[in-house]
DNA sequence: TATTGTTATACTCTATAACTATA
DNA sequence: TATAGTTATAGAGTATAACAATA
């Protein structure tokens, strides 16, 4: 029997371990773990608006803005006017931002490897799928939906 | 194919969703999500030292101390001299702390239910087991060990 | 010598509310 | 009216380093 609290604590322990290891690995480059997540999200979808960036980071627009201010001071990101919406601003990595991001990927490589080290490839896929389903139940906009979906992703 | 970053992002999204929902649910009682974790840990092992409490919370002793100061001001926990070790102090819930904790369990019940809602019972157990294995690879003291351990703890 | 806890300090993330400008 | 972003503000968690007291 697994109750919700047990899952919550396991989730917390895993996330905090990852976060702490990442902070340590990125510290030499002067970047926090959360800033890395932001930079990586930017790299995968350049010229995002701040709102879209916040959504992809599971974060808050005003939080993202605070982070962007810090990253802009460090010269890693730049903000420009949006081409069609004069209210919005687009965010993109600078050349130095791209360079630092490459170093961050390298610095975090062993962490990701160690996290996956205790899992077979199919198990890692299953873990991602289950995490996604657990998260879906927690997001506000998520309609309750069918109570238990024995969906095809269960292949593992 | 699941790479480490994908897992990291899924883990982060699930944890942050849980954390945010918990903050909202506990706010009416004036307690944060992390403070709830501390109170729940105390309830399961009364009269812990601050160090042991920090370990069980996947947290840092000085962080725990800052949290304890806040909780002590609110009258939810008390600190007393350790019976045998004069350096240490034991931490325990006060009567009011126990009362508030009961309300917190009730306030968080639907969150835990929704998190488990998209998973069958065996899937929830598997999720906890996989999270634990992923976290084990990330803890500093963890010796690398056998690359893939199909250990007996994987039962249920 | 090592360990428990305290103190001082600093920084990041988080989030709300009121506001401006634009859609 | 609704949306994108800014500003001001506040608080919590995080962690390091130096320190005292005790083991």
**Do residues A19 and A50 both lie within one domain?**
yes
When pLDDT is cut at 50, 70 and 90, the band that residue A150 belongs to is very low
Q: Measured between CA atoms, how close is A17 to chain B, in angstroms?
A: 6
**Do residues A25 and A71 both lie within one domain?**
yes
The residue range of the domain holding A16 is 12-118
**Do residues A82 and A153 both lie within one domain?**
no
Q: Check: CB of residue A30 under 8 Å from CB of residue A74.
A: yes
Name residue A78's beta-bridge partners: A92
CB spacing of A150 vs B15 below 8 angstroms: no
Nearest to A135 by CA among A81, A41, A58: A58
**Do residues A22 and A55 both lie within one domain?**
yes
Q: Check: CB of residue B13 under 8 Å from CB of residue A128.
A: no
Q: Measured between CA atoms, how close is B140 to chain A, in angstroms?
A: 8
Cβ neighbours of B86 (radius 10 Å): 8
Residue A4 lies in a domain: no
Residue A131 lies in a domain: yes
**Model confidence over B76-88: pLDDT tens digits?**
999 999 989 999 9
CB spacing of B4 vs A148 below 8 angstroms: no
On strand C, nucleotides with any atom < 7 Å from a protein CB are 3-9, 12-17, 21-23
Per-residue pLDDT for chain B (156 aa), expressed as one digit of tens each? Answer: 789 999 999 999 999 999 999 999 999 999 999 999 999 999 998 788 999 999 999 999 999 999 999 999 999 999 999 989 999 999 999 999 999 999 999 999 999 999 999 999 999 999 999 999 999 999 865 444 444 443 444 333
Name residue B79's beta-bridge partners: B91
Reported residue count of chain A is 156
B115 touches chain A (CB under 8 A): yes
Residue B66 lies in a domain: yes
Considering only the beta carbons, identify the residue of A6, A130, A144 that sits closest to B123: A130
pLDDT of residue A46: 72
Number of domains in chain B: 1
When pLDDT is cut at 50, 70 and 90, the band that residue A140 belongs to is low
Residue B113 lies in a domain: yes
């Amino acid at each position: 029997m697994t109750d919700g609290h047990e899952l919550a604590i396991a989730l917390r322990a895993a996330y905090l371990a990852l976060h702490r290891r990442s902070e340590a690995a990125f510290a030499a480059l002067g970047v926090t773990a959360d800033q890395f997540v932001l930079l990586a999200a930017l790299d995968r979808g350049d010229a995002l608006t701040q709102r879209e960036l916040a959504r992809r980071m599971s974060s808050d627009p005003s939080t993202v803005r605070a982070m962007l201010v810090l990253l802009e001071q460090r010269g890693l990101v730049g903000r420009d006017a949006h081409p069609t919406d004069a209210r919005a601003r687009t965010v993109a990595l600078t050349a130095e931002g791209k360079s630092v991001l490459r170093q961050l990927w390298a610095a975090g490589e062993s962490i990701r490897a160690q996290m996956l080290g205790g899992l077979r490839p199919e198990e890692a896929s299953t873990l991602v799928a289950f995490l996604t389903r657990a998260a879906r139940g927690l997001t506000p906009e998520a309609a309750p939906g069918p109570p238990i979906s024995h969906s095809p992703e269960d292949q593992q």
